[in-house]
Amino acid sequence: MEKYKKYYDLIKAQSHIFDKTQNCKIGQTWEYHLCPVIRNAIMLAIDYGANKDVVEVAAIFHDYADLIDMNNRNEHHILGANLAREILIKDGFDKDFIDKVCLCIKNHRASVQLEKNSIEEICVADADALSHLDNVVELICWRAYLGEDIKTANQFVKNKIIKSYNKMSKLSQNKFADKYNAILKVLY
Ligand SMILES: [Fe+2]
Ligand SMILES: [Fe+2]
């Protein structure tokens, strides 16, 4: 954390700016998305023997382009990788490290397959998906805030949880099957 404090501060500040543009009182992006993703990514990096620094920095920056402008949504994985690259080059990181970080950011949305992706990419993509399993209450509150009725909100959250779980690597699906099944038992 201390090592990359500058980046934590940058993304935290940008998350707060983003929340204001969304005019959504409960949209606490830093606390309920970025922090869980970073925390889970580091945990998975340790568990799976990945490069912890690559995973941590990639997780910090993974949605940066989205936080700057929601219009970047469709391309935010590519734009975010480019933005992170510029910052990391300026800060003197070596090319190999930067390339690995950027690959994780670029591929955090794609469904992951063990044989095709580096273990670092898997950690970041799985952590992104896992954050939704960790924040079911926040997801429900968000939909309610948008004015959805209970049935619609339930369906949205259920779909989001299923999609997130299906996106995860087999390794992480096995690891978090209990949590996933418990959530699906509660939602109807
Ligand atoms: Fe993203
Ligand atoms: Fe994300």
Domain boundaries, the chain: 2-186
Would you report the helix, strand and coil content of the chain in percent, each value rounded to 5? 80, 0, 20
The more confidently predicted of residues 24 and 123 is: 123
* Residue 23 clears pLDDT 90, i.e. is over it: no
**pLDDT band, residue 70 (cuts 50/70/90):** confident
Nearest CA to 165 among 175, 180, 184?
180
**pLDDT band, residue 56 (cuts 50/70/90):** very high
Q: Cβ(114)–Cβ(170) under 8 Å?
A: yes
pLDDT at 114: 54
Is residue 105 classed as helix, strand or coil in its secondary structure?
Answer: helix
- Compute the distance between CA of residue 66 and CA of residue 69 in angstroms, rounded to an integer: 5
pLDDT at 24: 66
Residue 94 Cα to ligand 2 middle (Å): 25
pLDDT at 112: 56
- Compute the distance between CA of residue 94 and CA of residue 45 in angstroms, rounded to an integer: 20
Q: How far from chain centre, in Å, is Cα 17?
A: 18
Whole-model pTM: value is 0.93
Nearest CA to 103 among 73, 129, 76, 78?
78
Instruction: Give the ligand at the shortest distance from the Cα of 80.
Output: 1
Q: What's the mean pLDDT in 40-69?
A: 97
CATH superfamily of 2-186: Hypothetical protein af1432 (1.10.3210.10)
- Compute the distance between CA of residue 105 and CA of residue 64 in angstroms, rounded to an integer: 10
Q: How open is the CA angle 25-136-77, to the nearest 5 degrees?
A: 75
**pLDDT band, residue 54 (cuts 50/70/90):** very high
Q: How far from chain centre, in Å, is Cα 85?
A: 18
Residue 55 Cα to ligand 1 middle (Å): 15
Instruction: Give the ligand at the shortest distance from the Cα of 109.
Output: 1
- Compute the distance between CA of residue 35 and CA of residue 58 in angstroms, rounded to an integer: 13
Q: pLDDT of 108-165, one tens digit each?
A: 986 556 556 899 999 999 999 999 999 999 889 888 888 999 999 999 999 999 999 9
pLDDT at 109: 86
Q: pLDDT of 172-182, one tens digit each?
A: 999 999 999 99
* Residue 1 clears pLDDT 80, i.e. is over it: no
Q: Under 8 Å CB-to-CB from 165, ≥6 apart: which residues? A: 129, 133, 173, 176, 180
pLDDT at 113: 60
pLDDT at 25: 65
Give me the residues near ligand 2 (ion), CB cutoff below 5 Å.
Answer: 63, 128
pLDDT at 101: 98
Q: What's the mean pLDDT in 91-103?
A: 97
Instruction: Give the ligand at the shortest distance from the Cα of 128.
Output: 2
- Compute the distance between CA of residue 46 and CA of residue 4 in angstroms, rounded to an integer: 18
Residue 31 Cα to ligand 2 middle (Å): 12
Instruction: Give the ligand at the shortest distance from the Cα of 41.
Output: 2
Mean pLDDT of the chain: 92
